[in-house]
């Protein structure tokens, strides 16, 4: 085992492109620090925080990181999940399976392989981890392309934040060692999550105007299912632009029809 005294420079030299770990509404600084240490153990340094409960920077996180200062020092803070993954092309949510969203469910090896194929061609990718108390919400999961599910004992299925981060980082490290063959990517890169989010927001706005979300009490689940479907489709930049144009054309047609 390492004695934890690896210098910041040496640690940085050993960090290659890797998935970004996004901790959504983490509570305790100690848990953030433990996750950071687990990340750097396996060569992952990109850490993003969404609304950390106790603010940032957090001295308890730095103390618990125990040598993983490069992860803590470079951590970025965001107000929303959308902002945290705006520049990402592929996002996996680490959570128990959400059957209502119909997302692909990957085990840790499959998730690491899927991430490696994309990161190898220069795409930003992320893994979402939920807070200690409630995990990821259904709305957060709907923003992902797939679910990472760890095959734990069903009678005691709870993993803490650092454990989940450790498993994901470890399998990522193994995937790099073994390598992968081929790539599922199209000739044109996938659209950024920010552009896909804008498309979905545009569509929801026009559907709202058209009275699609009925009855009102089902609006949230209907919107969530639409978001999950569009997110997992893996649209390219050209496809997103085409769909934005189609939504705009349909909206303008309705406006023109209403005036005649």
Distance CA 45, CA 70 (A): 7
Q: Could you write out the DSSP letters of every residue in 218-248?
A: GHHHHHHHHHHHHHHT--BHHHHHHHHHHHH
> Whose CA is closest to 128, among 258, 19, 15?
19
Q: Are residues 172 and 212 in the same domain?
A: no
Kindly report whether the global pTM for this prediction surpasses the value 0.85. Answer: no
Tell me, yes or no, whether 187 lies in a domain: no
Question: Is it true that the peptide bond before 57 is cis, omega within 30 degrees of 0?
Answer: yes
Rg (CA), the chain: 20
pLDDT value of position 198: 86
Same domain, 128 and 208: no
- Same-domain check for residues 144 and 170: yes
Do residues 165 and 63 both lie within one domain? yes
Could you report the per-residue pLDDT of 173-191, keeping only the tens digit for each?
Answer: 999 876 554 445 555 677 8
Residue segments in the chain with a per-residue pLDDT below the cut of 70: 1-15, 97-99, 178-188, 253-260
> In whole angstroms, what is the distance from residue 169 CA to residue 162 CA?
10
Q: Which residues pair with 90 in a beta bridge?
A: 125
Q: Looking at residue 192, what is its pLDDT? A: 80
Domain that holds residue 208: 193-259
Which structure tokens are listed for 107?
A: 């085990």
Residues 78 and 121 in one domain: yes
Taking the CA of residue 9 as centre, how many other CA atoms within 13 Å lie in the half-sphere pointing to its CB? 0
* CATH assignment at residue 94: 3.40.1280.10
User: For residue 172, what pLDDT is reported?
Assistant: 95
CATH code assigned at 222: 1.10.8
Strand intervals (E) in 95-159: 105-106, 125-129, 146-148
Q: In the structure encoding, which two tokens stand for residue 172, read together?
A: 């990522």
Same domain, 63 and 125: yes
What residue has token string 């047609």?
A: 253
Beta bridge partners of 97: none
58: which residues sit within 8 A by CB, 6+ positions away?
29, 32, 33, 52
């Amino acid at each position: 085992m390492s004695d934890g005294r690896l210098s910041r420079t040496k640690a940085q030299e050993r960090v290659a492109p890797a998935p970004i770990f996004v901790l959504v509404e983490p509570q305790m600084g100690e848990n953030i620090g433990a996750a950071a240490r687990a990340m750097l153990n396996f060569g992952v340094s990109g850490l993003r925080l969404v609304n950390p409960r106790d603010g940032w920077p957090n001295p308890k996180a730095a103390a618990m990181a125990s040598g993983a200062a490069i992860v803590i020092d470079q951590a970025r803070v965001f107000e929303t999940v959308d902002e945290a993954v705006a520049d990402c092309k592929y996002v996996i949510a680490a959570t128990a399976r959400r059957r209502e969203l119909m997302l692909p469910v990957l085990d840790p090896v499959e998730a690491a392989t899927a991430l490696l194929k994309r990161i190898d061609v220069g795409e930003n990718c992320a893994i979402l981890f939920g807070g200690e108390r409630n995990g990821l919400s259904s709305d957060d999961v709907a923003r992902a392309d797939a679910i990472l599910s760890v095959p734990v004992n069903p009678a005691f299925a709870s993993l803490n934040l650092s454990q989940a981060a450790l498993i994901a980082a470890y399998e990522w490290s193994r995937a790099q060692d073994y390598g992968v063959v081929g790539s599922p990517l199209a000739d044109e890169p996938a659209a950024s999550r920010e552009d896909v989010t804008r498309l979905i927001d545009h569509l929801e706005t026009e559907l709202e105007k058209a009275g699609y979300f009925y009855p009102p009490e089902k609006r949230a689940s209907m919107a969530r299912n639409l978001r999950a479907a569009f997110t997992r489709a893996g649209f390219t930049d050209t496809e997103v632009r085409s769909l934005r144009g189609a939504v705009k054309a349909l909206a303008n047609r309705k406006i023109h029809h209403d005036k005649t």
